[in-house]
A and B are shown apart, each in its own frame.
Chain A
């Protein structure tokens, strides 16, 4: 909201110091997003008369113009064509600095020297007009050489650009801003009578105001009927006859311009002025274009279509998506029921004020905020009016706003202007002033302050509240909250609301500060610590963490092996990417490709994040979705393949203290086979924490399927898909000690006696996993086994049996003695027997 300081001064005598005022506004929560100095940079601009306009050879967009600004001819080059010889125009001579800091220098265009610039209204920040040069012929008393500021009577001003919070409809107008500011600064606040306003602003003598109402009663000229007082609890109409539609007074038009609204005509401008000044939207109708004549306020029929002022046909009366949309829209119709606008949102074109209008019906009403909010949201139609009504206008400010409108129209409405006696007024239940009792102890407990009841009353009073402190400093303060403060709620919330008002008026910066302390220690959960550790381990393995998109296309989802239906965003930013990811594969492949396209594709990347799926069994409470936190890691460095992923997994498992996990080798077919290399991948399983429980799937490890890698464009120099190691872990299972078994917490003592090693090599058929042989060895070796490790794999013609040779080193140790050769030999025999028996293996 643009707020000119001069306008604020209507209500209280504020000082000139714009920076200080801005700081105070900020501290009141009326955030200043910009300060514009108006009238600055115009000091050097002078009125000039055009003496010659001539074409420039070879240029059809610019002309050579000679002007006289009282000190001899000045030649400039100008691109506008809306003026001719003899016209008066503004000239910014060389050396002038225009608003916004634009410095005018001597320039040469097409061989013609330009000694200044003729300016448009926008270049001077006097209007939005940039279609041509500002022509000053009609400005009374303008002579060449005169300063523009003097001729136009421009007074320097400051315009604050304020961001007003959504809960402060009262502050969304000049009077409201001034009230807050005056309360803080301890200045008297009052809304001036129109007469006094005009005298102060325009310097005109009193106008005598609007003549007393005469002629036929308003009720005889028009009718007003409200059939739905639930949506529109109060509706008033006043009738003005004999209206001349013309331009607004210059001061009023200028104020609208400064506040960012375009002046249109005296009637529309008066309505807009009142809205900006007091926050109450009103709507003027051309009474002669209303059938009846009059208005009917009713609820829209389901599916009823209305054409709004912007020419759009809108379907009304049906609930839209979202909770609690009742589909109830308030229509303003003519007396015969034909819609002329959507109540509180937007008018229709049929009854707009035009040059021929002579009789005006002014609507000033109170609409139920939630109803307006629903309608405006469903229609995506946010207007100056709807934005104010949905926040809540002052139901007690309607009459004052309507009266102000009439008085403003009277300034230029012509000698025949007459206000019809009486007000068409349909009133049902509107919000009333609210009583809240503030207990100083409660307020101080919230703020950490020690305000007395008297101080509280003193801080609330200037905001327009009636605050009465009766009794002692700790006794309750009875507060009556005016209807323009709908943000203040009844108790028990009301005390918190008023605590904020007390704090605001007092100044947040002056409130005390204290560093709180409590006996509970702060800490990370075991899961959070484990997650950090897993990520650090991956970093240690040379992998870098990525952050990829949560929104995927259907093709990506399917390529990543997920089964539809996927969770879909109903209002996506990018139409194609409207599915919530079910896998980290597409994101990480995308990140690899992004880097590969920049010749930096030799990378290891990982990501930790949520993936989503529809819940197969909807939970009793909460959304029917399953969210899993996963860790995905892609190993695409030089020489990387499935082994890199397996090595990484073993390091992660070791770091997290996982115990007893197994890697169950593929082959993966079907959906999983599209993602994982069918013969170079496996599933990671953990034993159940409790006896008899099911094994827990921790994730998968191996290599990505070549087709998937190729489709992502990740090919080696020979054109074949690159080998990309892949590790994908379910952190919900992995990080949860109740799910995945951990090493016991008790320390295992280290033996002081020497250990003995034996090496065993078996020829084992290819289909027997080495892990199974290792498990058999571990099982058969007995309690003396310290470790078992595969240390060599050999394939070749030297083998007597089909298969490959797997060589294991077993280390034995006892805690109470040095092992004898017999003991080790016994274990060795047991191991050989077990492996040969279980795996069709032969000792080499």
Chain B
């Protein structure tokens, strides 16, 4: 065999060879040369048997130490080479992340958008759920009784002029209609609760409504309302005012307040219109609020005894309040949407903003 026979020289030779290995591949070859079965150190180990015991012991120790050194050098070099190679790979796999192609397969998972009205409705529901309300829903096609009669709006009542109604060709003329407000859901809820003996009621009722209004910047013939109804023992107008105030602050922000002023709704008595601090000028007065600092949001009041009578709730034991306002209008105010018709155009440039 060739090569150094001296242990120290072997280690030196191994050190040189290891340092010279430029890749993991080369290092594997060097490993065989310097620590494999045919390496000089292995040869020397095999030759130990021929020595005297004392000399064999000494030389054995030397050889073991030398092999440990070589192994250490190999490991060290291997780690260094792995690091270098991984670094080169990383650099080679560089991406310019601003080269993003929106049409590429990876981009197909782009998030879609809930309609602004859905988002608003969800958020309103969440606020009311947090205040202890359940969420109830009802049909969009209603009878005259649920939409008007039970709500203390008999036929030909002048108050019917407050709602321009779409009538349907179902049954007798003008008996079936598209609900003009979510209030019929109140009637369904109370009827069911009376039947099941399940009073009290604490519910909000969001939903789609229809009025024969020509669409313009502030009106849509199809729109969304949320209605609230509480029927319980000991409920007063003070609870109504407090509920409106808490909701207003929770949804619009702590610096937005509510105030009530007398109004007329056939299904509540006393009734009130509720206004909130103008969300645009925060109450200092602007064009939107006609310099008053307040904008109208909805109507509310104590459930009229005639409504309780229509559904069979004992008005001596139970009192209640109801309120209602436009979901689309909330969205319009919060996002300063100049023209409500943008909500039904379905232009993706509008929808994806929310």
A493 contacts partner chain B, Cβ-Cβ < 8 Å: yes
CB distance from A180 to the nearest CB of B (A): 10
Given the known A-B contacts A446-B237, A504-B262, A516-B243, are A544 and B158 also in contact in the complex, defined by CB atoms under 8 Å? Answer: no
Interface flags, A320-351, vs B, CB<8A=1, else 0: 01111100000000000000000000000000
Given contacts A445-B319, A623-B171, A625-B168, contact A515 B237 (CB under 8 A): no
Partner of A520 from B160, B200, B208 at Cβ < 8 Å:
B200
Task: Mark out the residues of chain B between 200 and 221 whose CB falls within 8 Å of any chain A CB in the assembled complex.
Answer: 200, 202, 208, 210, 212, 214, 221
Collect the chain A residues with CB atoms within 8 Å of residue B131's CB.
Answer: 522
Q: Does B143 contact A (CB under 8 A)?
A: yes
Is B141's CB under 8 angstroms from A513's CB? no
A167–B235 Cα distance when bound, in Å, is 25
C-alpha spacing A132/B129, complex, angstroms: 64
Determine the chain A residues whose CB is within 8 A of the CB of B352 once the complex forms: 544
Report chain B residues within 8 Å CB of A606: 112
Q: Which residue of A lies closest to B271 (CB)?
A: A500
Please indicate the chain A residues that have their CB under 8 angstroms from the CB of B348 in the complex: 544, 595, 600, 603
Chain B: minimal CB distance from A320 (Å) = 9
Picked from A370, A446, A524, A547, the residue with its CB within 8 Å of the CB of B270 is A446
Check if A680 is an interface residue, CB within 8 A of chain B.
no
Chain A 507-536 per-residue mask, 1 if CB under 8 angstroms from chain B, else 0:
011011111111011111100100010011
**Contacts A570-B167, A625-B168 given: A545-B347 contact, CB under 8 Å?**
no
* Given A499-B269, A568-B169, A570-B173, A544 contacting B351 (CB threshold 8 A): yes
Docked complex Cα distance between A26 and B290 (Å): 14
* CA gap between A321 and B165 in the complex, in Å: 13
Docked-complex contact B319 and A624, CB < 8 angstroms:
no
- CB <8 Å contact, B162 and A518: no
Interface of B is mostly: mixed
A545 B129 Cβ-Cβ under 8 A: no
Q: Is the CB of B174 within 8 A of A323?
A: yes
Q: How far is the CA of A514 from the CA of B236 in the complex (A)?
A: 9
- The residues in B between 238 and 268 inclusive whose CB is less than 8 angstroms from any CB of A are 238-239, 241-243, 245-246, 259-264, 266
Asked if B33 lies at the interface with its beta carbon under 8 angstroms from chain A, I say no
- Given A168-B264, A568-B169, A569-B178, check contact A545 B118 (CB 8 Å): yes
Q: Please, which residues of chain A bring their CB within 8 A of the CB of B236?
A: 445-448, 514
The chain B residue with its CB closest to the CB of A377 is B156
List which A549-598 residues lie within 8 A (CB) of chain B. Answer: 549-551, 567-573, 580, 591, 594-595, 598
A598 pairs with B347, CB closer than 8 A: yes
Q: A322-B155, A496-B305 are in contact. Are A514 and B270 (CB under 8 A)?
A: no
**CB within 8 A of A515: which of B129, B234, B242?**
B242
Contacts of A625 in B (CB 8 A): 141, 168, 170, 176
Q: A322-B173, A496-B269 are in contact. Are A573 and B234 (CB under 8 A)?
A: no
Candidates B108, B112, B212, B273; contact of A538 at CB < 8 Å? B112
Cα(A748)–Cα(B243), bound, Å: 45
Cβ of A493: which chain B residues have Cβ within 8 Å of it? 269, 304-306
Report yes or no: A543 in contact with B108, Cβ–Cβ below 8 A: no
Is B132 part of the binding interface, using a Cβ–Cβ cutoff of 8 Å?
yes
The complex places the Cα of A523 from the Cα of B238 at a distance, in Å, of 24
What's the minimum C-beta distance from B191 to chain A, rounded to whole angstroms?
11
Which of A213-221, A608-616, A694-702 sits within the interface? Answer: A608-616
Q: How far is the CB of A348 from chain B (nearest CB, A)?
A: 24
CB-defined contacts of A513 to chain B, threshold 8 Å: 238, 241-242, 245
The reply to whether the CB of B17 lies closer than 8 angstroms to some CB of chain A is: no
Contact partners of A532 in chain B: CB under 8 A: 122
Inter-chain CA distance A394–B149, complex, in Å, is 26
Which residues of B lie under 8 Å from residue A610 when comparing CB positions? Answer: 140, 208
- A166 & B162 in contact (Cβ 8 Å cutoff): yes
- Given that A31-B261, A610-B208 are known contacts, is A446 also in contact with B302, CB under 8 Å in the complex? yes
Tell me whether A309 is interfacial, beta carbon within 8 Å: no
Residue of A nearest to B157 (CB): A373
B103 near A508: Cβ-Cβ < 8 Å? no
For A28, A536, A538, A580, which residue has the most chain B Cβ atoms within 10 angstroms? A580
CA A298 to CA B315, docked complex, whole Å: 42
Tell me, yes or no, whether B139 is within 8 Å of chain A by CB.
yes
**Is B168 a contact of A580 with CB atoms below 8 Å?**
yes
A491 to chain B, nearest CB (A): 9
Known: A446-B270, A511-B241, A515-B242. A522 touches B202 (CB 8 A): yes
Q: Give chain A nearest CB distance to B115 CB in angstroms.
A: 4
Q: Name the interface residues of A622-654: CB closer than 8 Å to any CB of B.
A: 622-625, 627, 637-639
Smallest Cβ-Cβ distance to A32: which chain B residue? B292
A524 to B129 alpha-carbon distance, docked (Å)? 7
Given known A569-B167, A570-B169, contact A446–B319 (CB-CB < 8 A): yes
Residues of B within 8 A of A627 (CB): 139-141
Contact A518 B112 (CB under 8 A): no
Residues of chain B contacted by A249 (CB below 8 angstroms): none
Asked if B13 is an interface residue, CB under 8 A from chain A, the answer is: no
- Is B87 positioned at the interface, with any CB of A under 8 Å from its CB? no
Complex CA–CA separation, A375 to B279 (angstroms): 43
CB distance from B265 to the nearest CB of A (A): 9
Contacts of B128 in A (CB 8 A): 522
- A322 in contact with B174 given A167-B264, A445-B234, A523-B129 (CB within 8 Å): yes
CB of A722 closer than 8 Å to a CB of B: no
Select B344's contact among A28, A514, A547, A603, beta carbons within 8 Å: A547
Which partner residue on chain A sits nearest B238 by CB separation?
A448
Contacts of A525 in B (CB 8 A): 134-135
When A168-B264, A515-B243, A515-B246 are in contact, do A542 and B129 touch as well, CB less than 8 Å?
Answer: no
Residues of A within 8 A of B137 (CB): 528
- Residue pair B347, A547 in contact (C-beta under 8 Å): no
B interface footprint on A661-686 (CB within 8 Å = 1, 0 otherwise): 00000000000000000000000000
A492 at the interface (CB under 8 A from B): yes
Would you call A27 an interface residue if the criterion is a C-beta within 8 Å of the partner chain's C-beta atoms? yes
CB-CB under 8 A from A550, the residues of chain B are 208, 210, 222
Tell me if B143 and A622 are in contact (CB < 8 A).
Answer: yes
Alpha-carbon distance A497/B265, docked complex (angstroms): 12
Least CB distance, A522 to chain B, in whole angstroms: 4
B281 close to chain A: CB less than 8 A: no
Q: Are B221 and A573 in contact (CB under 8 A)?
A: yes
In the bound assembly, the distance between CA atoms of A324 and B154 in angstroms comes to 9
B112 lies within 8 A of A571 (CB): no
Find B239's partner among A31, A166, A516, A639 (CB 8 Å cutoff): A516
Q: Is B97 interfacial (CB 8 A cutoff)? A: no
Set A374, A447, A571, A624: member contacting B170, Cβ < 8 A = A624
Tell me if B304 and A549 are in contact (CB < 8 A).
no
State the Cβ distance, A17 to closest chain B Cβ, in Å. 16
Q: Which residues of B contact A568 (CB under 8 A)?
A: 168-169
* CB-defined contacts of A522 to chain B, threshold 8 Å: 128-134, 202
Query: Can you list 12 A-B contacts with CB-CB less than 8 angstroms, sorted by A residue number?
Result: A323-B156, A445-B236, A508-B259, A509-B259, A511-B238, A516-B235, A518-B132, A522-B132, A535-B114, A539-B111, A569-B169, A623-B176
- Additional 20 contacts, C-beta under 8 A, given A512-B238, A545-B114, A570-B174: A29-B261, A29-B263, A167-B266, A168-B264, A323-B155, A324-B155, A369-B158, A448-B239, A489-B306, A511-B238, A516-B235, A524-B135, A535-B114, A540-B109, A542-B111, A550-B222, A567-B141, A612-B141, A623-B139, A623-B168
Which residues on A are within 8 Å of B, measured CB to CB? Answer: 26-29, 31, 165-168, 321-325, 369-370, 373-374, 377, 390-391, 445-449, 487, 489, 492-493, 495-497, 499-500, 503-504, 508-509, 511-518, 520-525, 528, 532, 535-536, 538-551, 567-573, 580, 591, 594-595, 598, 600, 603-606, 608-610, 612, 614, 622-625, 627, 637-639
Instruction: List B residues at the A interface (Cβ < 8 Å).
Output: 103, 108-115, 117-118, 122, 125, 128-135, 137, 139-144, 154-162, 166-176, 178, 200, 202, 208, 210, 212, 214, 221-222, 230, 232, 234-239, 241-243, 245-246, 259-264, 266, 269-273, 302, 304-306, 315, 319, 343-349, 351-352
Across the A-B interface, the 3 shortest Cβ-Cβ residue pairs: A29-B262, A448-B238, A448-B236
